[in-house]
Structures are given as structure tokens and as C-alpha cells.
């Protein structure tokens, strides 16, 4: 894929609870799957604490580097939910209560008998110039400003926001993958695999050892947006693995792809 065709993304995970280990993040995997499905190349993930300046620095770095930036966490009703404040600061805009966001929230609160108070109205503060990201789960919206998409940290809400975003995003070429299993270790395959990677620089080749099984296993995964190049490279990898098996005098795995 040429750089002109490439659509890239960075993910910023925000929250002290992630860094302390109290909350186990699952949003990175969900975002990676989402990007892969759309042909978006997720290039970088950062995790930062609930510190305004740290969030501003990370957002500004990522939005200058990638087609899209996604953020998760810190848009709730409490004092430490400072993501909206940091995004507004990063873009140099005000952070007023947004009439549309307030209407969405008050409609839901009326249905659930929830009191409207100052803390809950924090969730209606949206940077000037931003568009809302619909939240079908709890009504409190995310928002998009420039190429930055700000979403909740609660996994079910974050995934709903991703689905709402999907039609608005430009996808790249779909990346295809082929897996080849080998019954030898990475050390045996490293040299020849590296030579094949040099021969096929447009096909990403990864090596993943499989631990804790009856015998040594390595899974080689090849990825490319060009089906013909992918299959050509995969054939070379299969031949290389077959030779490694012959050299070691062992039977190949039952599944080779």
C-alpha cells in the first residue's frame, strides 16, 4: 500500500485507573479490531494519566502524525473527568455546555427519573466547533473535533461510539493475512524469515512462538493489502518451513495455514 493510500490512526487511552492496574483495559483490542475491519492502520497506542498537560501533549503529537486519533476515558461527570477540558485546550477553543448534548441527556434523564445537577451537566460540555458522537447506550455523547474522536472509557459505550463513527471514517485498503505454523523454534526460522522479509518489504512478516504445548511451535503471520504478493510470499514461507522440518527430521503440524 502506498503512503497516499494509507489511512492511519493513533489511540490515546486516558485514566489513572488504567495505569494503576485497577481497571484492565479492553478498549485497545476493540479499537484494533475496528481499525483492521475498516482498513485503517493503527500505528500507535499511548496511555496517559488524568493530567491535562499530558493529555494535551499526547493529543497534539498524535493528531499531527496520523489520519485519525481516537481517545477513550475521562468524559464522565466527576472532577477527574478532564478529557474534554484537555481537548479544548489542545485546540485552543472554549468548552461550553452544548445545547444538543444537553437535550440528549435531559431526555434520557427524564425517562429514567435522574436528577439534573451540575456534575451530570459536565457531560454536556463540548469544545466549540466539535460534532457529537452518538451514544446509544447511555446518551452522554462523545465528540469529534478535527481528526480527534473522543469516546467514553466504559467498554460497551466505547464500542457503541465506534459503530456510530464507522460510516464517517475513510477506510484504507483491506489488509489480508496468512498464518503458517512451524514445528521448530524462532531461532531456526529467524535467518531465512529475515531474508524473505527483505525480499518482500511490502508484506509484513511476524513470528510468534507458541508456549506451553507438547512441542515447540512457531506461528508465522504474513499481512498485506495485495493478495497476489501475499500469496507469493506465503508460498516462499511455506517452502522455507518445509525445509526447516526436513532439516530437523520432524513431521510438520497437521494445520499449515
Could you read off the pLDDT of 73-86 as tens digits, one per residue? 999 999 989 999 99
Q: What are 111-150's pLDDT values in tens digits?
A: 989 999 999 999 999 999 999 999 989 889 999 999 999 9
pTM of the entire structure? 0.80
CB atoms within 10 A of CB 67: 17
pLDDT of residue 176: 87
**Per the structure block, which three cell numbers stand in for 41?**
492502520
Backbone phi, psi, residue 69, to 5°: -125, 135
The ranges assigned to domains in the chain are: 8-168, 176-248
Q: What CATH number has the domain spanning 8-168?
A: 3.40.980.10
Q: What pLDDT is attached to residue 256?
A: 44
Q: Cell numbers at residue 214, please?
A: 507438547
The candidate with the shortest Cα–Cα distance to 235, out of 210, 208, 199, is 199
Distance of CA 139 to the CA centre of its chain: 23
Looking at the chain, the number of H-run helices and the number of E-run strands are 9, 9
> Strand 217-224 and strand 204-210: pairing?
antiparallel
Greatest Cα-to-Cα distance within the chain, rounded to the nearest angstrom: 73
* CATH architecture assignment, domain 176-248: 2-Layer Sandwich (3.30)
The tens digit of pLDDT for each residue in 223-245 reads 888 999 999 999 999 999 999 99
Q: What is the mean pLDDT of residues 23-34?
A: 96
Q: Which residues pair with 143 in a beta bridge?
A: 132, 150
Amino acid at each position: 500500500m502506498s503512503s497516499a493510500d494509507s489511512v492511519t490512526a493513533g489511540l490515546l487511552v486516558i485514566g489513572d485507573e488504567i495505569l494503576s492496574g485497577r481497571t484492565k483495559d479492553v478498549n485497545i483490542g476493540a479499537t484494533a479490531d475496528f481499525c483492521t475491519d475498516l482498513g485503517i492502520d493503527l500505528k500507535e497506542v499511548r496511555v496517559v494519566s488524568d493530567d491535562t498537560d499530558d493529555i494535551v501533549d499526547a493529543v497534539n503529537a498524535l493528531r499531527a502524525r496520523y489520519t485519525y486519533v481516537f481517545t477513550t476515558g475521562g468524559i464522565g461527570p466527576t472532577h477527574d473527568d478532564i478529557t474534554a477540558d484537555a481537548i479544548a485546550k489542545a485546540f485552543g477553543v472554549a468548552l461550553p455546555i452544548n445545547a444538543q448534548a444537553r437535550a440528549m441527556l435531559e431526555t434520557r434523564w427524564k425517562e429514567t427519573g435522574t436528577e439534573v445537577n451540575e456534575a451530570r451537566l459536565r457531560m454536556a460540555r463540548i469544545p466549540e466547533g466539535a460534532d457529537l458522537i452518538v451514544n446509544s447506550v447511555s446518551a452522554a455523547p462523545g465528540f469529534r473535533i478535527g481528526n480527534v474522536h473522543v469516546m467514553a472509557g466504559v467498554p460497551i459505550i466505547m464500542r457503541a461510539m465506534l459503530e456510530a463513527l464507522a460510516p464517517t471514517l475513510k477506510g484504507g485498503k483491506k489488509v489480508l493475512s496468512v498464518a503458517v505454523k512451524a514445528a521448530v523454534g524462532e531461532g531456526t526460522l529467524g535467518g531465512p524469515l529475515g531474508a524473505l522479509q527483505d525480499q518482500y518489504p511490502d508484506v509484513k512478516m511476524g513470528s510468534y512462538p507458541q508456549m506451553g504445548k507438547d512441542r515447540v511451535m512457531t506461528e508465522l503471520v504474513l499481512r498485506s493489502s495485495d493478495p497476489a504478493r501475499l500469496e507469493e510470499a506465503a508460498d516462499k514461507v511455506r517452502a522455507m518451513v518445509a525445509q526447516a522440518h526436513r532439516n530437523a527430521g520432524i513431521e510438520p503440524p497437521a494445520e499449515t495455514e
